[in-house]
Amino acid sequence: MLKGKTALVTGSTSGIGLGIAKALARQGANIVLNGFGDVDTPRAEVLAAGQASGAQVAYHGADMSRAADIEDMMRYSEAQFGQVDILVNNAGIQHVANVEDFPVERWDAIIAINLTSAFHTSRLALPAMRRANWGRIINVASVHGLVGSAQKSAYVAAKHGIVGLTKVTALETATTGITANAICPGWVLTPLVQKQVDAKAAAHGLTNEEATKLLLGEKEPSMQFTTPDELGELAVFFCSTAANNVRGVAWNMDGGWAAQ
Ligand code: NAD
Protein backbone atom coordinates (compact mmCIF):
# COMPACT_ATOMS: atom_id res chain seq x y z
CA MET A 1 0.00 0.00 0.00
CA LEU A 2 2.87 2.44 0.74
CA LYS A 3 5.48 1.19 -1.71
CA GLY A 4 7.45 4.13 -3.11
CA LYS A 5 6.60 6.36 -0.14
CA THR A 6 9.09 7.45 2.51
CA ALA A 7 8.27 7.74 6.20
CA LEU A 8 10.39 9.63 8.72
CA VAL A 9 9.56 8.48 12.25
CA THR A 10 11.20 10.52 15.00
CA GLY A 11 12.12 8.69 18.21
CA SER A 12 11.85 5.31 16.50
CA THR A 13 14.70 3.38 18.14
CA SER A 14 12.27 2.28 20.87
CA GLY A 15 8.64 1.88 21.93
CA ILE A 16 5.78 3.42 19.97
CA GLY A 17 7.94 4.97 17.24
CA LEU A 18 9.54 1.59 16.53
CA GLY A 19 6.08 -0.05 16.38
CA ILE A 20 4.89 2.57 13.88
CA ALA A 21 8.08 2.28 11.80
CA LYS A 22 7.62 -1.50 11.56
CA ALA A 23 3.94 -1.19 10.58
CA LEU A 24 4.75 1.35 7.83
CA ALA A 25 7.66 -0.78 6.57
CA ARG A 26 5.32 -3.80 6.38
CA GLN A 27 3.23 -1.69 3.97
CA GLY A 28 6.33 -1.09 1.82
CA ALA A 29 7.34 2.44 2.90
CA ASN A 30 11.03 3.28 3.08
CA ILE A 31 11.83 4.32 6.64
CA VAL A 32 14.12 6.92 8.16
CA LEU A 33 14.71 5.97 11.77
CA ASN A 34 15.75 8.50 14.44
CA GLY A 35 16.46 8.31 18.16
CA PHE A 36 19.10 7.50 20.73
CA GLY A 37 20.59 4.26 22.09
CA ASP A 38 21.13 1.01 20.23
CA VAL A 39 20.37 1.49 16.52
CA ASP A 40 21.36 -1.93 15.14
CA THR A 41 18.51 -3.88 16.80
CA PRO A 42 15.65 -1.53 15.79
CA ARG A 43 17.14 -1.19 12.29
CA ALA A 44 17.19 -5.01 11.94
CA GLU A 45 13.59 -5.25 13.23
CA VAL A 46 12.32 -2.65 10.74
CA LEU A 47 14.28 -4.25 7.87
CA ALA A 48 12.75 -7.64 8.75
CA ALA A 49 9.25 -6.11 8.90
CA GLY A 50 9.71 -4.56 5.45
CA GLN A 51 11.61 -7.44 3.86
CA ALA A 52 8.68 -8.89 1.90
CA SER A 53 7.82 -5.49 0.43
CA GLY A 54 11.44 -4.42 -0.20
CA ALA A 55 11.35 -1.43 2.13
CA GLN A 56 14.71 0.28 2.72
CA VAL A 57 15.83 1.67 6.07
CA ALA A 58 18.07 4.66 6.88
CA TYR A 59 18.93 6.33 10.19
CA HIS A 60 19.74 9.84 11.35
CA GLY A 61 20.66 10.56 14.98
CA ALA A 62 19.29 14.14 15.19
CA ASP A 63 18.69 15.43 18.70
CA MET A 64 15.10 16.61 18.42
CA SER A 65 15.75 19.45 20.84
CA ARG A 66 18.06 21.10 18.27
CA ALA A 67 16.66 22.88 15.21
CA ALA A 68 19.97 22.60 13.30
CA ASP A 69 20.02 18.80 13.81
CA ILE A 70 16.43 18.56 12.56
CA GLU A 71 17.27 20.59 9.46
CA ASP A 72 20.19 18.24 8.79
CA MET A 73 17.94 15.17 9.25
CA MET A 74 15.38 16.52 6.76
CA ARG A 75 18.14 17.17 4.18
CA TYR A 76 19.52 13.66 4.81
CA SER A 77 16.06 12.05 4.36
CA GLU A 78 15.56 13.82 1.04
CA ALA A 79 19.05 12.84 -0.12
CA GLN A 80 18.36 9.18 0.80
CA PHE A 81 14.86 8.75 -0.61
CA GLY A 82 13.86 11.88 -2.55
CA GLN A 83 11.39 13.34 -0.08
CA VAL A 84 9.47 12.69 3.13
CA ASP A 85 5.87 11.68 2.29
CA ILE A 86 4.87 10.49 5.75
CA LEU A 87 6.09 12.39 8.79
CA VAL A 88 5.51 10.79 12.19
CA ASN A 89 6.38 13.17 15.03
CA ASN A 90 6.83 10.74 17.89
CA ALA A 91 9.99 11.55 19.89
CA GLY A 92 9.10 12.41 23.46
CA ILE A 93 10.26 12.43 27.05
CA GLN A 94 8.55 12.73 30.43
CA HIS A 95 9.32 14.23 33.82
CA VAL A 96 7.09 14.06 36.88
CA ALA A 97 7.05 16.81 39.56
CA ASN A 98 4.76 19.49 40.98
CA VAL A 99 4.86 22.83 39.15
CA GLU A 100 6.76 24.59 41.93
CA ASP A 101 9.42 21.85 41.98
CA PHE A 102 9.65 21.33 38.22
CA PRO A 103 13.28 21.73 37.05
CA VAL A 104 13.39 24.58 34.53
CA GLU A 105 15.75 22.70 32.21
CA ARG A 106 13.36 19.69 32.16
CA TRP A 107 10.46 22.02 31.24
CA ASP A 108 12.52 23.47 28.37
CA ALA A 109 13.62 20.03 27.14
CA ILE A 110 10.07 18.60 27.17
CA ILE A 111 8.62 21.56 25.26
CA ALA A 112 11.51 21.40 22.75
CA ILE A 113 11.39 17.62 22.13
CA ASN A 114 7.65 16.91 22.54
CA LEU A 115 6.32 20.04 20.80
CA THR A 116 8.74 22.40 19.04
CA SER A 117 10.46 19.59 17.10
CA ALA A 118 7.14 18.81 15.38
CA PHE A 119 6.88 22.43 14.24
CA HIS A 120 10.38 22.21 12.72
CA THR A 121 9.87 18.86 10.95
CA SER A 122 6.42 19.92 9.68
CA ARG A 123 7.58 23.28 8.31
CA LEU A 124 10.47 21.54 6.54
CA ALA A 125 8.41 18.58 5.17
CA LEU A 126 5.38 20.53 3.93
CA PRO A 127 6.86 22.21 0.82
CA ALA A 128 7.68 18.85 -0.85
CA MET A 129 4.33 17.38 0.27
CA ARG A 130 2.57 20.37 -1.34
CA ARG A 131 4.53 19.85 -4.58
CA ALA A 132 3.46 16.18 -4.63
CA ASN A 133 -0.07 17.06 -3.43
CA TRP A 134 0.15 14.09 -1.08
CA GLY A 135 1.39 13.78 2.46
CA ARG A 136 0.59 12.44 5.89
CA ILE A 137 1.60 14.13 9.13
CA ILE A 138 0.92 11.97 12.17
CA ASN A 139 1.63 13.57 15.52
CA VAL A 140 1.94 11.16 18.43
CA ALA A 141 0.31 13.22 21.15
CA SER A 142 -1.19 11.44 24.16
CA VAL A 143 -4.40 11.20 26.13
CA HIS A 144 -2.56 14.02 27.95
CA GLY A 145 -3.26 16.12 24.86
CA LEU A 146 -6.94 15.88 25.86
CA VAL A 147 -6.96 15.77 29.67
CA GLY A 148 -4.51 16.64 32.44
CA SER A 149 -2.81 14.67 35.22
CA ALA A 150 -1.11 16.09 38.30
CA GLN A 151 2.69 16.46 38.22
CA LYS A 152 2.92 16.42 34.40
CA SER A 153 2.73 20.16 33.64
CA ALA A 154 5.31 20.28 30.85
CA TYR A 155 4.14 17.04 29.24
CA VAL A 156 0.45 17.99 29.35
CA ALA A 157 1.22 21.49 28.04
CA ALA A 158 3.33 20.07 25.19
CA LYS A 159 0.75 17.41 24.30
CA HIS A 160 -2.17 19.90 24.32
CA GLY A 161 0.11 22.09 22.17
CA ILE A 162 0.76 19.37 19.62
CA VAL A 163 -2.98 18.67 19.31
CA GLY A 164 -3.39 22.39 18.54
CA LEU A 165 -0.54 22.31 16.01
CA THR A 166 -2.20 19.28 14.37
CA LYS A 167 -5.50 21.15 13.94
CA VAL A 168 -3.81 24.21 12.42
CA THR A 169 -1.69 22.08 10.04
CA ALA A 170 -4.85 20.23 8.99
CA LEU A 171 -6.68 23.52 8.29
CA GLU A 172 -3.80 24.97 6.28
CA THR A 173 -3.69 21.82 4.08
CA ALA A 174 -7.44 21.12 4.02
CA THR A 175 -7.87 21.54 0.25
CA THR A 176 -4.79 19.42 -0.58
CA GLY A 177 -3.89 15.73 -0.53
CA ILE A 178 -2.01 16.29 2.72
CA THR A 179 -3.62 15.32 6.02
CA ALA A 180 -2.50 16.00 9.60
CA ASN A 181 -3.84 14.02 12.52
CA ALA A 182 -2.86 13.19 16.09
CA ILE A 183 -2.80 9.87 17.91
CA CYS A 184 -3.54 9.98 21.63
CA PRO A 185 -2.47 6.79 23.41
CA GLY A 186 -3.26 5.97 27.02
CA TRP A 187 -0.72 3.77 28.80
CA VAL A 188 1.69 1.86 26.53
CA LEU A 189 4.30 -0.34 28.24
CA THR A 190 7.49 1.26 26.89
CA PRO A 191 10.66 2.40 28.74
CA LEU A 192 8.97 5.81 29.23
CA VAL A 193 6.15 4.18 31.24
CA GLN A 194 8.22 1.46 32.91
CA LYS A 195 10.09 4.28 34.70
CA GLN A 196 6.75 5.43 36.14
CA VAL A 197 5.88 1.86 37.21
CA ASP A 198 9.31 1.59 38.87
CA ALA A 199 8.73 4.89 40.73
CA LYS A 200 5.36 3.62 42.05
CA ALA A 201 6.89 0.31 43.12
CA ALA A 202 9.66 2.14 45.01
CA ALA A 203 7.31 4.71 46.59
CA HIS A 204 4.75 2.16 47.87
CA GLY A 205 6.99 -0.91 48.39
CA LEU A 206 5.17 -2.89 45.67
CA THR A 207 6.18 -5.60 43.23
CA ASN A 208 6.36 -4.71 39.53
CA GLU A 209 3.01 -6.49 38.97
CA GLU A 210 1.27 -4.66 41.83
CA ALA A 211 2.65 -1.30 40.72
CA THR A 212 1.51 -1.97 37.13
CA LYS A 213 -2.03 -2.74 38.35
CA LEU A 214 -2.02 0.44 40.44
CA LEU A 215 -0.87 2.54 37.47
CA LEU A 216 -3.52 1.11 35.11
CA GLY A 217 -6.28 1.19 37.74
CA GLU A 218 -5.83 4.91 38.41
CA LYS A 219 -6.58 5.94 34.80
CA GLU A 220 -7.31 3.20 32.28
CA PRO A 221 -10.73 1.47 32.62
CA SER A 222 -9.74 -1.42 30.31
CA MET A 223 -6.86 -2.30 32.71
CA GLN A 224 -4.85 -3.08 29.57
CA PHE A 225 -1.89 -1.41 27.89
CA THR A 226 -2.27 -0.30 24.28
CA THR A 227 0.57 -1.84 22.23
CA PRO A 228 3.01 -0.22 19.77
CA ASP A 229 1.70 -2.66 17.12
CA GLU A 230 -1.88 -1.44 17.61
CA LEU A 231 -0.70 2.16 17.30
CA GLY A 232 1.24 1.19 14.18
CA GLU A 233 -1.96 -0.13 12.60
CA LEU A 234 -3.72 3.16 13.40
CA ALA A 235 -0.89 5.04 11.66
CA VAL A 236 -1.30 2.74 8.63
CA PHE A 237 -5.01 3.62 8.56
CA PHE A 238 -4.19 7.36 8.57
CA CYS A 239 -1.95 6.70 5.52
CA SER A 240 -4.66 4.80 3.63
CA THR A 241 -7.02 6.21 1.01
CA ALA A 242 -9.91 5.54 3.42
CA ALA A 243 -8.46 8.34 5.57
CA ASN A 244 -8.12 10.88 2.72
CA ASN A 245 -10.61 13.19 4.42
CA VAL A 246 -9.73 12.53 8.06
CA ARG A 247 -8.25 15.90 9.02
CA GLY A 248 -7.25 17.43 12.32
CA VAL A 249 -8.52 14.67 14.59
CA ALA A 250 -7.03 13.74 17.96
CA TRP A 251 -7.77 10.00 17.99
CA ASN A 252 -7.46 8.39 21.37
CA MET A 253 -6.53 4.74 21.81
CA ASP A 254 -6.65 4.80 25.58
CA GLY A 255 -8.75 1.96 26.99
CA GLY A 256 -11.52 4.43 27.88
CA TRP A 257 -9.30 6.87 29.84
CA ALA A 258 -10.72 10.07 28.28
CA ALA A 259 -14.30 8.76 28.33
CA GLN A 260 -14.48 9.12 32.10
P1 NAD B 1 10.35 5.53 24.56
O2 NAD B 1 11.14 6.10 25.67
O3 NAD B 1 10.21 4.07 24.40
O4 NAD B 1 10.87 6.10 23.15
C5 NAD B 1 11.19 7.45 22.98
C6 NAD B 1 11.98 7.58 21.71
O7 NAD B 1 12.33 8.96 21.55
C8 NAD B 1 13.31 6.81 21.74
O9 NAD B 1 13.60 6.33 20.44
C10 NAD B 1 14.32 7.87 22.17
O11 NAD B 1 15.64 7.58 21.76
C12 NAD B 1 13.74 9.06 21.43
N13 NAD B 1 14.21 10.34 21.94
C14 NAD B 1 14.15 10.82 23.20
N15 NAD B 1 14.71 12.05 23.26
C16 NAD B 1 15.11 12.34 22.00
C17 NAD B 1 15.75 13.46 21.41
N18 NAD B 1 16.11 14.53 22.12
N19 NAD B 1 16.02 13.41 20.08
C20 NAD B 1 15.69 12.32 19.34
N21 NAD B 1 15.07 11.24 19.85
C22 NAD B 1 14.79 11.26 21.16
O23 NAD B 1 8.92 6.24 24.69
P24 NAD B 1 7.48 5.90 24.09
O25 NAD B 1 6.62 5.56 25.23
O26 NAD B 1 7.56 5.00 22.92
O27 NAD B 1 7.05 7.35 23.63
C28 NAD B 1 6.96 7.75 22.28
C29 NAD B 1 5.94 8.88 22.17
O30 NAD B 1 4.66 8.41 22.58
C31 NAD B 1 6.27 10.08 23.05
O32 NAD B 1 5.96 11.27 22.35
C33 NAD B 1 5.32 9.90 24.22
O34 NAD B 1 5.00 11.11 24.84
C35 NAD B 1 4.13 9.29 23.52
N36 NAD B 1 3.22 8.58 24.42
C37 NAD B 1 3.65 7.51 25.15
C38 NAD B 1 2.74 6.86 25.96
C39 NAD B 1 3.11 5.66 26.78
O40 NAD B 1 2.29 5.23 27.59
N41 NAD B 1 4.28 5.09 26.61
C42 NAD B 1 1.42 7.30 26.03
C43 NAD B 1 1.03 8.38 25.28
C44 NAD B 1 1.94 9.01 24.46
Q: What is the set of active-site residues?
A: 155
Q: Cα of 33 to ligand 1 centre, how many Å?
A: 13
Query: The complex's ipTM?
Result: 0.99
Nearest to 48 by CA among 26, 15, 77: 26
What fold does the segment set 6-188+227-259 form as a domain?
Rossmann fold (3.40.50)
pLDDT on residue 230:
98
* Cα separation, 131 vs 183, whole angstroms: 26
91 CB less than 6 Å from ligand 1?
yes
Q: Cα of 91 to ligand 1 centre, how many Å?
A: 5
pLDDT on residue 14:
97
- What would the pLDDT profile of 20-49 be if each residue is shown by its tens digit? 999 999 999 999 999 999 999 999 999 999
pLDDT on residue 27:
98
Q: Is 171 left (phi over 0), alpha (psi -120 to 50) or beta?
A: alpha
Q: Where in the chain is the domain with CATH 3.40.50.720?
A: 6-188+227-259
Q: Cα of 117 to ligand 1 centre, how many Å?
A: 13
What is the mean pLDDT of the segment spanning 77-91? 98
SS3 at position 248: coil
146 CB less than 6 Å from ligand 1?
no
CA 253 and chain centroid, separation? 13
Number of DSSP helices (H) and strands (E) in the chain, helices first: 9, 7
What is the mean pLDDT of the segment spanning 224-249? 98
pLDDT on residue 52:
96
